[in-house]
Chains A and B, each alone.
Chain A
Amino acid sequence: MKTPESVLKKEATQAKVAADKAAAEKAAEEKAVADTEKFKENSEKYDKEYEAEVRGAIENRRKAKASGGFYVPPEPKLALVIRIRGTIGVSPKAKKVMQLFRLRQLHNATFVKLNEATIRMLRLIEPYVTYGYPTRATVQKLIYKRGFGKLNKQRIPIADNTIVEKGLGEHGICCTADLVHEIYTVGPNFKQANNFLWPFKLSSPKGGFSRKTKLLHYLEGGEAGARAEEINKLVKRML
């Protein structure tokens, strides 16, 4: 008995589907291998860049000291803002600003590019947040441990470089090292990179907040407001 035409047709389509799938898998494998090489190169390049930056600052300081002058390091471009007060009883302006910064929950943290406008915005929300200038290591740790990306409006963990590629591939950011570099150096695609990162959900700090009361400004012994480099210590306890 001849095999029915419908069976033959179905077999043909299924074979095609299987072949396509195999080809796609092979292509993905090859791409993954090529990517790993590329990412290694990028990571090394960035490492050298960061080192050069640190060395450069030290040299400048030494030069200035030697010549009796002063070395004024460039103003910081990046801030890490952590919300330290809850959502009840917040004034409307501050509420709006925190919404714009995506700090909708207690202990949410985001990176913020520092310019005239954002500095003024931060001033408005000072009693509710604490902020400072993160180091490269802090940026890295935050993304490694608490990094989630926004894919298709969903909060997806950055467990793989493919997540970063899916979210930011069109801006040239394909791996975590690229992402860290873009954020830390506030590159041209900072807005997209930062928006791809879901606001970090930090734990409450190990060892607690200030013994006095956290509601006061940092300078008064509390926790609120600007605290420059000290933010890194706090993040270490909250990571």
Chain B
Amino acid sequence: MTARPLVSVFSLTGDKTGEVTLPMVMTSPLRPDLIQFVHTNMNKNKRQAYAVNIHASKKVVAQSWGTGRAVARIPRVGGGGTSRSGQGAFGNMCRGGRMYNPSKTWRRWTRKTNLKQKQQAVASALAASAVPSLVMARGHLIDQVPELPLVLENALEESTTKTSAAKTILQAVGALADVEKAAESKQIRCGKGKMRNRRYTLRRGPLVIYKSKEGGVEQAFRNLPGVELCCVDRLNLLQLAPGGHMGRFILWSQAAVEALDKMYGSEVGQKRLPVSCLTNADIARIINSDEVQSIVKPVKPGQFDFAPKRNAVKNTDALEVLDPYAAAKRRQQAELEAARATKKDELRLKKREERQARRAQHKEEGQAFFAKVSAQGDVCADGFKIE
């Protein structure tokens, strides 16, 4: 990471006035998982305790009636003269009873996170803020912004005191779209939050990071909807990655950017710079490199699909595959059978014709005899004589 790119510094009117080297932090590895983890923990730290009254439902003298009285065994309010007497008490299922597992104020509301994790998360979030695609993905409108990270000259924090001036600066630098988006998004919150002093919700706009607030930069920018301010010495992950999503749109002052390089480093008193576990992230190139390909085994031939079984006893084509000689023999036999069969058919037909001819002949002869004998008359008159 020796040659780092230069980042342009813009004047308050939007023209490039100088350059600054990209701080080391902004080349940190991007760790969305770590940021989400640290953010969930940090987000719990500003919580106020809530609990039910410790005496809730306890101000009753109630005892179970026991068995034998045709009622459930829940403790019941004693005494008489009021509808409350005899009613169930103390259970979470009873009306006016204590809730299940009453909430306590000594619930663990805050979370500790390891310092290293917190520092790495902030470094990662800063790195993400320098990637335009991530910032856009988070939802900021940065189409008109000339460069990310967006660094403005020191006059931003030294001589900006009026909000109108702040607005023109944002306009000149192309950041006003994001602010307007936040302004338009102001809605009454849904849910009970609106009656609990959280009436409106708003999108987050740009985050302005400065080195010193002596010049009045806070007063200038704080009233613009969605704009947040942060001193570079006290970077807050909850602002750098709102909702656990990295890529906040940040407006830096030159002094702040230069301070980052002094804040992060390996000397005593400096914040840790996270180290990536990958030095070369081009996985495709690694896989296709000679070093890897030379020892990689060849591609496996894959599943061998065996041919489906066909019955070679019945199917001669199947037999052909297994035993072509036997198949040829079988086909030959079949042809002979067929030939024999046709010959047999011929013979049969011939015999039938002969039989039919004979039958016809017999019938004729019979009819002729009958006619002759009928003409004769009584055949048995003289002892059966046919003329």
Contact = CB atoms under 8 A, between A and B. Distances in A.
Q: Determine the main DSSP class of A at the interface with B.
A: helix
A55 B309 CA distance: 34
Given A9-B288, A39-B323, A176-B322, A145 B307 contact: no
Given A10-B288, A13-B293, A159-B306, A175 B312 contact: no
Contacts of B313: 141, 144-145, 239
Q: Report the contact-size class of chain A (Cβ under 8 Å from the partner).
A: 20 to 34
Nearest to B289: A6
B185 to A, nearest CB: 46
Contacts of A17: 299
B50 interface: no
Contacts of B312: 144-145
A39 B311 contact: no
B313 to A, nearest CB: 5
A6 B322 CA distance: 48
Contacts of B329: 47
B319 interface: yes
A156 B293 CA distance: 35
A160 B322 CA distance: 6
B321 interface: yes
Nearest to B329: A47
Interface in B318-337: 318-319, 321-326, 329
A60 to B, nearest CB: 27
Interface in A49-97: none
A40 B322 CA distance: 10
Which of A36, A43, A156 counts the most chain B CB atoms within 10 A? A43
A125 interface: no
Contacts of B306: 156-157, 159, 163
B307 A159 contact: yes
Contacts of A177: 322-323, 325-326
Contacts of B308: 157, 159
Interface residues of B, number: 22
Contacts of A10: 288
Nearest to A149: B306
B310 interface: yes
Given A6-B288, A10-B288, A13-B293, A159 B326 contact: no
B285 interface: yes
A156 B308 CA distance: 9
A141 to B, nearest CB: 5
A161 interface: yes
B53 to A, nearest CB: 70
A43 B309 contact: no
A44 interface: yes
Contact of B321 (A9, A44, A159): A159
A113 B164 CA distance: 106
A183 B257 CA distance: 88
A158 interface: yes
A159 B288 contact: no
B323 A6 contact: no
Interface string A144-183: 1100100000001111110100000000000111000000
Contacts of A13: 293
Interface in A19-54: 36, 39-40, 43-44, 47
A145 B311 CA distance: 5
Contacts of A161: 321-322
A46 B78 CA distance: 106
A9 B288 CA distance: 9
B285 A157 contact: no
Contacts of A43: 323-326
Contacts of A239: 313
Contact of A158 (B285, B309, B324, B325): B309
Contacts of B321: 159-161
B282 to A, nearest CB: 10
B317 to A, nearest CB: 12
A144 B319 contact: yes
Interface in B47-78: none
Contacts of B285: 6
A177 B312 CA distance: 12
A49 to B, nearest CB: 13
Nearest to A141: B313
Contacts of B319: 144
Interface string B208-232: 0000000000000000000000000
Which of B290, B293, B318, B326 counts the most chain A CB atoms within 10 A? B326
Contacts of A157: 306-309
A144 B325 contact: no
B326 to A, nearest CB: 6
A196 to B, nearest CB: 15
A39 to B, nearest CB: 7
B307 A144 contact: no
13 contacts: A13-B293, A40-B325, A43-B325, A44-B325, A47-B329, A144-B311, A144-B319, A145-B313, A157-B307, A159-B307, A159-B310, A159-B318, A177-B323
Given A13-B293, A144-B313, A160-B322, 6 more contacts: A43-B323, A141-B313, A144-B322, A159-B309, A176-B322, A177-B322
